[in-house]
Amino acid sequence: MASQSPQNQASLYVHENVVHNAKTITFIRSSMSAITGSAAGILGLTGYSGFIFYALTAFFTSFLIWSVKTNTNPGIYFRNGSDVWTEGVFGGLFSYVLFWTLLYGIVHVYD
Amino acid sequence: MSQPLTSMLVESQALYLDPAIRDWVLIPIMVVMVLVGIFRDQVTVLIGSTSGKKAGIKAIKETKALTRGVTLRNYGNNIPSSSFLIRKNYLCSSYKKGDFLKNPASANQVVNPMTDPAGMEMMMEGMKKNFAMIIPQTVIMGWINFFFSGFVLSVETPDMDVTWVSSLSWYFLNLFGLRSIFTLLLGEDNAADGMRDMAAMSQMGAASPGQPQDFNKLFLAESENLELTPHNWELDDIEVRLLVKYGKRELVDNKDIIEMEDISSNDLSDVKGKSKKKRT
């Protein structure tokens, strides 16, 4: 109901809570990228298929966050509703590649 | 000429990797990097806690006074105009006079961090932290390069397939990839992350860390900001908003912005009230 001046927009959100929500998302993303990276390595994906796999799983993770954690209404948890889909995706990519390489190396390369 | 080259290529492709390399290179590097990250985090905690000095009451007053101005700017719409004006005038004049300053006499002279003992302390703090960060970084990198240079890699052979992972590239993968793992292990505000020091190092040239801020300047800027802040009381159009909320009135969207004077002069005429509501 509040008007849309930037001042009122700012006061609608409690900063600490928004930060906490962002932390939660980062946590989910980190663990998911480690897990999916391991999965990709064990499956033996190489090249583009591995990155496509990451895109798919990241999207799936976002969908889960969106549907389960925010009850399809991210606007009340984040200043910008689309944060749910984008936050931490690129940070997770590095961990994904790390675990992908590690598990691929352990399972497929040295035997 | 092309004959030996192709044969060499084929040979390098068929390079056989000893499983022992996995056990003695791949996994150790990762383990060492995780442990060093945790160690680094603990060292930072140690250094930070030994020098946990409490700030003086005046210093706290300074920062809190600044926070107060920011709060008024952000949430001023929730109090009536008169209250807002009183606070604004008080804060602005105090900022300008320097009432909140730790040391009002020295308002205009530039503080030299070398002579100010508190500033000196802070600089030492920053230096200590930086060293604690950078030294392990370089040591590990050198160690990996030195010890494991003979193993998977030898990238010196130019005809080698680029998909081979050298131990140094494995190190860099770790450097970037472990960041979120440290977040999982040590919590959000850990100091284990190696990339942060790089960012800190590149910043060092721009603004030396630990330099005390010039609160006089900050206060003046804040008072300027405050003076420019408009005030629209949240409850100006509360009647209309209520009526609309309970379906007693429709909203009309023709105007988005309403001047404050309009509302105070003639009580909410229909169009204005409705249009204001529209900005949900």
Choose one of B193, B214, B231: the last residue of a domain.
B231
Verify whether the Cβ–Cβ distance A29 to B180 is below 8 Å: yes
Q: Which domain holds residue A92?
A: 14-109
Residues of chain B positioned with their CB less than 8 A from the CB of A22: none
Q: Which domain holds residue B112?
A: 17-231
Verify whether the Cβ–Cβ distance A29 to B179 is below 8 Å: no
Total domain count, chain B: 2
Note whether B130 and B252 are same-domain residues: no
Cα A73 to Cα B275: distance, rounded to the nearest angstrom: 27
Q: Tell me which amino acid residue B25 is.
A: V
Distances (CA, A) of B1 to B4, B5, B80: 6, 7, 89
Cα B258 to Cα B278: distance, rounded to the nearest angstrom: 11
ipTM of the complex: 0.77
- Domain assignment present for residue B149? The answer is yes
- Domain assignment present for residue B269? The answer is yes
Note whether B259 and B175 are same-domain residues: no
- Domain assignment present for residue B264? The answer is yes
Q: Give the pLDDT confidence score for residue B97 in this predicted structure.
A: 84
Across A1-15, average pLDDT = 57
Q: Give the pLDDT confidence score for residue B109 in this predicted structure.
A: 57
- Domain assignment present for residue A20? The answer is yes
Note whether B153 and B265 are same-domain residues: no
- Domain assignment present for residue A2? The answer is no
Q: Give the pLDDT confidence score for residue B108 in this predicted structure.
A: 56
- Domain assignment present for residue B3? The answer is no
- Domain assignment present for residue B8? The answer is no
Note whether B161 and B270 are same-domain residues: no
Note whether B106 and B177 are same-domain residues: yes
Note whether B273 and B209 are same-domain residues: no
- Smallest Cβ–Cβ distance between B178 and the set A11, A23, A98 belongs to A98
Cα A85 to Cα A61: distance, rounded to the nearest angstrom: 9
Choose one of B209, B231, B253: the last residue of a domain.
B231
* Grouped pLDDT means (10 residues each) for chain B, 280 residues: 43 61 81 86 75 71 87 85 91 85 64 61 72 76 74 52 68 83 78 59 48 74 88 83 83 51 43 42
- Domain assignment present for residue B104? The answer is yes
In chain B, positions 135-194, which contact chain A (CB-CB < 8 Å)?
165, 170, 173-174, 176-181, 183-184, 188
Total domain count, chain A: 1
* A36-40: Cβ within 8 A, 24+ apart: A36/A96, A37/A95, A37/A96, A37/A97, A37/A98, A37/A99, A37/A100, A37/A102, A37/A103, A38/A99, A38/A100, A38/A102, A38/A103, A40/A96, A40/A99, A40/A100, A40/A103, A40/A104
Note whether B92 and B211 are same-domain residues: yes
In chain B, positions 54-93, which contact chain A (CB-CB < 8 Å)?
73-78
Across A83-96, average pLDDT = 85
Note whether B157 and B103 are same-domain residues: yes
Verify whether the Cβ–Cβ distance B176 to A110 is below 8 Å: no
Q: Give the pLDDT confidence score for residue B95 in this predicted structure.
A: 86
Q: What is the pLDDT of residues A24-77, one digit of tens each?
A: 888 899 899 999 999 999 998 888 999 999 999 999 999 998 888 888 888 888
Q: Give the pLDDT confidence score for residue B269 in this predicted structure.
A: 42
- Domain assignment present for residue A85? The answer is yes
